[in-house]
Amino acid sequence: EVQLVESGGGLVQPGGSLRLSCAASGFSLKNYWMHWVRQGPGKGLVWLSRINIDGSTTSYADSVKGRFTISRDNAKNTVYLQMNSLRDEDTAVYYCARGGPDAYWGQGTLVTVSS
């Protein structure tokens, strides 16, 4: 069974950092581009970042460029999102997603940025 399980969310103060993980099972992560997407409370979907299959190229939304870093460890079947300089407006559920015509999303992890 295909699964993506995000972890690492929680409550953090403005200016703080978190590292999200996305563990894949039931398929080999190394064959897919991977993405991070977030959804604020009651809001729409916002694409944040993507990484290619070997991690050699990445791209980011302007809203997180310079603050967030996507990476992957194919040997561990895991993708990461390092989030620094967090702001109140980064409060959201963060999803990792497998790209392509067989796209698949994890259940998400909640990040709350608040003092």
Q: What is the contact surface with another protein in residues (CB under 8 A)?
A: 35, 37, 44-47, 50, 59-62, 95, 99-108
What's the per-residue H, E or C state across the chain? CCEEEEECCEEECCCCCEEEEEEEECCCHHHCCEEEEEECCCCCEEEEEEECCCCCCEEECCCCCCCEEEEEEHHHCEEEEEECCCCHHHCEEEEEEECCCCCEECCCEEEEECC
To another protein, the closest distance from the beta carbon of 22 in angstroms equals 13
Residue number with CB closer to another protein (56 or 115): 56
Residue number with CB closer to another protein (80 or 95): 95
To another protein, the closest distance from the beta carbon of 110 in angstroms equals 13
Residue number with CB closer to another protein (52 or 77): 52
